[in-house]
Amino acid sequence: MAKRRIKHEQIANASKRNAIFGRRANSLLKKANELSLLCGVDIGVIIHKQGAENDSILWPSPDAFEQRLYKFLDFSNFERAKKMVLHEQYLEKMISMESEYFLKSMKRTEFKESQQLLSEVQQGKHLCQLDLYQLNCLNSTIDEMLKNLQKKDNELNNEQQQQQAQLFSLPPPPLLLPSPGMAAAMQQEIGGNDQLFTGPMSEE
- Phi and psi torsions of 40, nearest 5°: 65, 45
pLDDT of residue 197: 45
pLDDT score for 164: 80
Please check whether residue 181 lies inside any domain of the structure: no
Tell me whether residue 107 is in a domain. yes
Q: In terms of residue numbers, what domain contains 65?
A: 14-84
Shared domain for 96 and 152, answered yes or no, is yes
Q: Which of 115, 162, 152 is nearest to 137 (CA)?
A: 115
Residue 200 lies in a domain: no
Both 113 and 153 in one domain: the answer is yes
Same-domain check for residues 76 and 118: no
Report pLDDT digits (tens) over 131-144: 887 888 788 888 88
Residue 190 lies in a domain: no
Contacts of 97-103 spanning 24+ positions with Cβ under 8 A: 98/8
Tell me: do 65 and 116 sit in the same domain: no
CATH (domain of 64): 3.40.1810.10
pTM above 0.75, yes or no: no
pLDDT for 43 equals 93
The model's pLDDT over 67-112, given as tens digits with 9 standing for 90+, comes to 999 998 898 888 888 878 888 888 888 899 999 999 999 888 888 8
Boundary residue ending a domain (34, 64, 84): 84
Q: Distances in Å between the alpha carbon of 108 and those of 6, 21, 102?
A: 21, 35, 10
Give me the number of domains the chain comprises: 2
Are 27 and 64 contained in the same domain?
yes
The residues facing 20 across adjacent strands are none
Instruction: Look at residue 80 and tell me if it is in a domain.
Output: yes
H/E stretch holding 47 reads strand 45-47
Q: Which residues of the chain are under the pLDDT cut of 50?
A: 196-198, 202-204
Domain shared by 78 and 125, yes or no: no
Q: Does 64 share its domain with 25?
A: yes
Same domain? 60 vs 40? yes
Answer yes or no: do 109 and 163 share one domain: yes
Do 95 and 137 belong to one domain? yes
Neighbours of 69 (CB within 10 A): 13
